[in-house]
Structure 1
Amino acid sequence: MSTITRLGTANMYDSTLRNINGRQSDLANIAEKNAAGKRVLRPSDDPVAAAQAERAITRMARTDADQRALDAQRGVIEYAGSTLKASMDALQEFRGLLLGAGNGAYEQSSRDALVTQMTSLRDQLLTYANRKDSNGLPLFRGLDSSEQPIQGYNFAGQPGQTASSDNSIANTIDGAAAWMNVPTGNGVLAVSIGAGNTGKAWADVGVITDPAAATALTAPVDIAFSKDASGNLQYSLDGGATFTSYKSGDAINVAGMKLTVTGEPAVGDKFTVKPSERTTLFNILDQAIAAVRSGAKANGSTDTGALTHAVTRGVAEIDAGLNRLSSAQSLTGDLLNRADRVEEGLALRKDRLEGERSSAEDIDLIAGQSEQQMRQLGLQAALQSYASIQKLSLFNFIN
């Protein structure tokens, strides 16, 4: 038995209207997406793609934060580098003044003028060492675990402080290494002049000829001068009974080091050789200034031996300090190069994340425009069909 289904005109009207409304909604939706350039405007459009896009956006925000932090770190290191450059210039000037102070033609009044300049440069260097960044933190914070005070300021240790990472660089230079760790003498052994010397002799910093013997020295060794029965100068090592005739400029071998004593030592004068120690650059400058300030004897004449010895040793130790500052400045250059590489990596990461976000939520404008046109044509066809259906009534048929 067949079933006859009767469809009224009203049902056809309702169905057509629903079709038209749906097509209008779809057209409006695709038009909105094309205008925004996005395939996913709300999570309901594609939950999975929306989640992927959100993750990419979050990671890009973190990358932007890393970039801002890197920019701040770069600024600090650039400031530290320029400060080290200014410090090296000031130290070079101090070195030149110290060499000038050793000029035998100078009187103490002339050396006093040099002392004023040297003191000013020393104060400048202390200011550079204590300089702070825009956040009020010292540029040269110590990275070790100890505190090393200089002139009322501490290079406070930074336990657990990280250095450069994949997305950042260190935001400080090790001040302890730059300013607080300068070797005395030639770096292995140091020669000091006897406090009671009255002659006109001085020693150089020496040249290491036997590293094993030099590093094995643990106790000071004295080079003491006296005269033999004929009145000729001689010296002995550490109060020994073996005496060697002395001639100005001849090398003296002691503790694996070739040492040259120049000038005319007096009987009882001595020089002491001992292991090199670590001191601060500021102690070296203070000792040099003190030596120049007290470069005259009680009678007003120049204390040639003590002054020349202090100048020779001071210049050698200042050169060691310059090497320390130069190494620190080289580190700033390395950190800035690293910052460039990190920045390049952050840019590549951001480009990749932007690609992931775009792939998840952006629309293909060509395909979107094509779909919009197709939906427009579909809507027009539906409207035309509805207009035709409106004419399908019995009264229109009778007419």
Structure 2
Amino acid sequence: MRVSTTQIFQTGIDQIQRNQAELNRTSLQLGSGERILTPSDDPSGATQTNQFERIIKATEQYQRNIDNSQPRLQQQESLMQSGTDALQRARELVIAGNNDSQTDETRRYQANELRQLRDELFEIANTRDPNGEYIFAGTNSLEQPFKQDGEGTVRYEGAEGTGSVREVEISPTRTVPVGDTGADVFMNVPENDGRTTAEVTNREADSLLIVDKAEVYDVRELDREEYTIEFAEDGAGGITYSVLDENGDAIEGRDGDLLEDQPFVPGESIDFAGRSVTISGDPVDGDEVVSRPAVNKDIFSTLDDIIAALEEGTGTREARANLATATNTALGDMDAAIENFNDIRADVGSRLKTMDDQSELNEDRLLDLETAVSEIRDLDYAEAISRFNQQQVALQAAQQTYSETSRLSLFDFI
């Protein structure tokens, strides 16, 4: 076989360039610490690495969502505790205000403190987070959710209904609401026990009728109707009562007897239609009490009502009866508000626990993924250094061989 001088030179140069390329590649691997520099180095490994890195980035985003959301929920939990403390103090004042040892002057002091607690709750309802967003405004977080008109009536103008609360993804399959709307926290609070309540709708002069409580004795018999308890004189100096439906017809009581012109016994419950109403005091002819299904009531109007009753004082029998009834109503409604606060606070705590648990899962997942990527992509320095030295020797040998070969020529043998 004929071997030309040009071919000899080209073969030597090609060998030197290949050795240089391999040495350069190993040098880059040592500099970067990565085994795979281009997909062609390991197509399968590069594909796996890309897949793992996409999962890592998504998991890191889930973790950022948790880190950004937790402080907001923690702030809401703290606000709920402050609101509960305010309502507990309001409850103490209401109980004290109904005590006969109090005077109208001291009741006005208590009313003033209740007004301050109401203002505190209003401030809590309009609290912002460190980003300047309103905690209880829902998705409409840049607008003040609670406002008062000229008469002091509080209105909620934040987001309501489906989609009113922002939700964040904390994993591919889990989302967590970041907050609650002011409507759910402060406005839509069920009256009394959330099922039924009773109120005085007509009070005659000199009446000392007091509604003590309204509760349910059999939920199976409970309906959504309104019933009126009417009081009348029996002609012998006593007072009777009748329980009438919406058509004005007397209905049966718990024991099956018709509740019409029944003798009134103060403090004895009147049972009908699955509900029980306890009335005390001294009602007079023409007094009326309505038993109806409970509806939602905001905590601001609950406080407004009892403040008005305390400021009215107890100068007359009617005013004293009004205060006693307003106290019982306010206590029931405040207990419902406190229970609502506690339920929401517990739910917030559950969400925070969910985030903590998911955060641990995300951290474990990131560690596993990064370990897997490291095993595929990272360089074995011991092997690479050994290979680098071998490639250096090979390159030097190729250069030396080329140097010696380049001196040969057929003319040296002529």
Same fold, judged at TM 0.5 (above): yes
What residue number does 2:363 align with? Answer: 347
Retained in 2: the 8 A contact 1:225–1:267?
yes
- SS of 1:242's equivalent in the other structure is coil
Retained in 1: the 8 A contact 2:188–2:298?
yes
2:98 to 93, 102, 119: 102
Structure 2: distance between partners of 1:23 and 1:108: 103
What residue number does 1:242 align with? Answer: 260
What residue number does 1:83 align with? Answer: 79
Structure 2: distance between partners of 1:138 and 1:226: 56
What residue number does 1:305 align with? Answer: 321
Retained in 1: the 8 A contact 2:73–2:352?
yes
In the TM superposition, residue 83 of structure 1 has moved relative to its aligned partner by 0.9
In the TM superposition, residue 363 of structure 1 has moved relative to its aligned partner by 2.0
Structure 1: distance between partners of 2:45 and 2:93: 72
What residue number does 1:319 align with? Answer: 335
Structure 1: distance between partners of 2:238 and 2:389: 115
The residue type paired with residue 129 of structure 2 is: D
Question: What TM-score comes out, normalization by structure 2 length?
Answer: 0.81
Query: In the alignment, does 2:76 pair up with 1:73?
Result: no
Query: In the alignment, does 2:204 pair up with 1:188?
Result: no
1:194–1:302 CA distance, 2 compared to 1 (3 A): closer
In the TM superposition, residue 76 of structure 1 has moved relative to its aligned partner by 1.4
What residue number does 1:338 align with? Answer: 354
In the TM superposition, residue 11 of structure 1 has moved relative to its aligned partner by 5.8
Query: In the alignment, does 2:178 pair up with 1:171?
Result: yes
Structure 2: distance between partners of 1:77 and 1:136: 15
What residue number does 1:117 align with? Answer: 113
Structure 2: distance between partners of 1:264 and 1:164: 58
What residue number does 1:293 align with? Answer: 311
Retained in 2: the 8 A contact 1:295–1:302?
no
The residue type paired with residue 209 of structure 1 is: Y
Question: What TM-score comes out, normalization by structure 1 length?
Answer: 0.83
Retained in 2: the 8 A contact 1:217–1:255?
no
1:188-227 aligned at under 5 Å gives the runs 188-197=195-204, 198-213=206-221, 215-227=222-234
1:159–1:273 CA distance, 2 compared to 1 (3 A): closer
Give unpaired runs (5+ residues) of structure 1: none
Retained in 2: the 8 A contact 1:248–1:262?
yes
After superposition, give the CA deviation of every residue in 1:156-190 in whole Å (9 maximum; x if it has no partner).
Answer: 22644564545342222143322222222332221
Higher mean displacement: 289-298 or 355-364: 355-364
- SS of 1:169's equivalent in the other structure is strand
Higher mean displacement: 314-323 or 172-181: 172-181
1:172–1:100 CA distance, 2 compared to 1 (3 A): same
Retained in 1: the 8 A contact 2:230–2:286?
no
In the TM superposition, residue 327 of structure 1 has moved relative to its aligned partner by 0.9
Retained in 2: the 8 A contact 1:73–1:171?
yes
In the TM superposition, residue 384 of structure 1 has moved relative to its aligned partner by 5.4
Structure 1: distance between partners of 2:260 and 2:406: 134
1:160–1:107 CA distance, 2 compared to 1 (3 A): closer
Higher mean displacement: 95-104 or 250-259: 250-259
In the TM superposition, residue 242 of structure 1 has moved relative to its aligned partner by 3.2
In the TM superposition, residue 119 of structure 1 has moved relative to its aligned partner by 0.6
Structure 2: distance between partners of 1:257 and 1:295: 31
What residue number does 1:126 align with? Answer: 122
Retained in 1: the 8 A contact 2:207–2:318?
no
Query: In the alignment, does 2:159 pair up with 1:156?
Result: yes
What residue number does 1:5 align with? Answer: 2
The residue type paired with residue 131 of structure 1 is: T
Structure 2: distance between partners of 1:188 and 1:18: 92
Greater radius of gyration (CA): 1
- SS of 2:28's equivalent in the other structure is helix
Structure 1: distance between partners of 2:199 and 2:161: 35
Structure 2: distance between partners of 1:353 and 1:275: 57
After superposition, give the CA deviation of every residue in 1:116-169 in whole Å (9 maximum; x if it has no partner).
Answer: 1001101111221222333443322468xxx99872431322644564545342
1:314–1:152 CA distance, 2 compared to 1 (3 A): closer
Give unpaired runs (5+ residues) of structure 2: 140-144, 148-152, 251-258
1:295–1:274 CA distance, 2 compared to 1 (3 A): farther
Structure 1: distance between partners of 2:230 and 2:364: 66
In the TM superposition, residue 33 of structure 1 has moved relative to its aligned partner by 0.6
The residue type paired with residue 138 of structure 1 is: Y
- SS of 1:205's equivalent in the other structure is strand
What residue number does 2:255 align with? Answer: none
Q: Using CA pairs under 8 Å that are at least 6 residues apart, name the structure with larger relative contact order, 1 or 2.
A: 1
Retained in 2: the 8 A contact 1:251–1:258?
yes
Query: In the alignment, does 2:25 pair up with 1:29?
Result: yes
How well do the aligned residues superpose, as a CA RMSD in angstroms?
Answer: 3.4
Query: In the alignment, does 2:381 pair up with 1:373?
Result: no
Query: Quick one: percent identity of the two aligned structures?
Result: 25
- SS of 1:139's equivalent in the other structure is coil
- SS of 2:199's equivalent in the other structure is strand
Query: In the alignment, does 2:299 pair up with 1:281?
Result: yes
Structure 1 segments of 4+ aligned residues over 6 angstroms from their partners: 147-150, 390-397
